[in-house]
Amino acid sequence: MSGFLTITLIALVFIIIYQIAKASEYAAILRGKEKVERQTNRTIAWLMVAVFVFGIWGIWECHEYMMPKMLPISASDHGVKYDDMLKVTLILTGIVFFITQTLLFWFTYRYQASEKRTSYYFPHNNKLELLWTTVPAITMAVLVAIGLRAWSSMTAPAPENSQVVEIVGKQFNWIIRYPGKDKVLGKRDFRNINDANNVLGLDWNDKANHDDVIAENGEMHLIVNKPVKLIIGSRDVIHDVGLAHFRMKMDAVPGIVTTMWFTPTITTAEMKKITGNPNFVYEISCDQMCGKGHYSMRGTVIVETEVQHKAWLMMQKSYYATVNAPSDAATPATDSTAKATTSKAITMN
Ligand SMILES: [Cu+2]
């Protein structure tokens, strides 16, 4: 029934359009073709002005609505540089856009078809060609130079005093590892990976691993105003560590270690006040489609003071101690257990 109604409605719309077209044809014959054409031209010219005004208003509204969602407050020093570059680019291109579009729509209105005017033949002008080639070229070169400067500072080696945190993606969550008192992350080998007691495949023969702390809930604790170097990896497919508030992202590739560094500048507590949102958390998103549970790969970042961070780290039990707790495992993860774990992991595969 609804199908029949839809077809009838479409047919009716066609009949109405056809009748209107016929009526205008008859009106043209009665009033004179030229008069009707002049009126149509004027209507189209005014409609073009309306399109321009509504278009500019629409762009402004979209900007107001989308910018806070797409570009949350920047909470890293790199983020401020990114935002400045974006602002400069948007202002420059915005000015050019506004001038060219205003001229385009003004010309369609001002020079609508008229029998009193003949068109002016203007095929070429060397000065104009030179002007609109060199000015954009110089502007683009300056923008690229600013971008390259920022890029080289962001991709430069992390400062010596950086906090080091490892983040490893897997289908479908993030595993985060912190070095213990020795400030060194121990070696790991994918052949040691075992979901039961060695999620990152840590090599227990390497003593540096014994005090490392692992957070499997995807919570990353960072120190405010201290550079952090992220050591990024993946256990299975390609993921991507996306940190929108810090304007950073980097692929997590199986078999390859990638890194990135930045300095968080606003603590989570301060951000709660700035945003007026008591539940605010910095998010880690996976920015690479990695499987059916991709949407659920949400982690969080807690930015805190150095004192708070030390206190938090003191409370954490090392992963080595956790997996070797008497109640959890009958046998300690000695060298032989590591070997057994290795063979188990291989058998599982
Ligand atoms: Cu993903």
Cα(294) to ligand 1 centroid in Å equals: 4
Cα(170) to ligand 1 centroid in Å equals: 9
Cα(72) to ligand 1 centroid in Å equals: 21
Q: Which two tokens stand for residue 200?
A: 């990152």
Q: Where are the domains of the chain?
A: 1-26, 27-113+126-155, 163-348
Cα(14) to ligand 1 centroid in Å equals: 48
Which pLDDT tens digit goes with each residue over 8-39? 888 998 888 888 888 777 776 776 777 777 78
Check residues 59 and 218 and name the one with the higher pLDDT.
59
Ion ligand 1: protein residues whose beta carbon lies under 5 Å: 286, 290, 294, 297
Angstrom distances, CA of residue 192 to CA of 172, 204, 218, 254, 255: 19, 9, 21, 15, 14
Cα(290) to ligand 1 centroid in Å equals: 4
Cα(259) to ligand 1 centroid in Å equals: 18
* Angle (deg, nearest 10), helices 126-155 and 77-110: 160
Which pLDDT tens digit goes with each residue over 194-252? 887 888 888 788 878 888 888 767 789 999 999 999 999 999 899 999 999 999 989 99
Instruction: Give the Cβ contact number of residue 258 at 10 Å.
Output: 15
Q: Is the Cβ–Cβ distance between 154 and 78 less than 8 Å?
A: yes
Statement: residue 58 has pLDDT above 60:
yes
Mean pLDDT of 118-144: 90
Residue 176 has a pLDDT of: 92
User: What distance in Å separates the CA atoms of residue 76 and residue 303, rounded to the nearest whole number?
Assistant: 11
Which pLDDT tens digit goes with each residue over 281-328? 999 999 989 989 899 888 999 999 999 988 888 888 888 877 776 654
Residue 134 has a pLDDT of: 94
What CATH number has the domain spanning 163-348? 2.60.40.420
Cα(39) to ligand 1 centroid in Å equals: 57
Cα(239) to ligand 1 centroid in Å equals: 5
Statement: residue 44 has pLDDT above 60:
yes
Residue 193 has a pLDDT of: 84
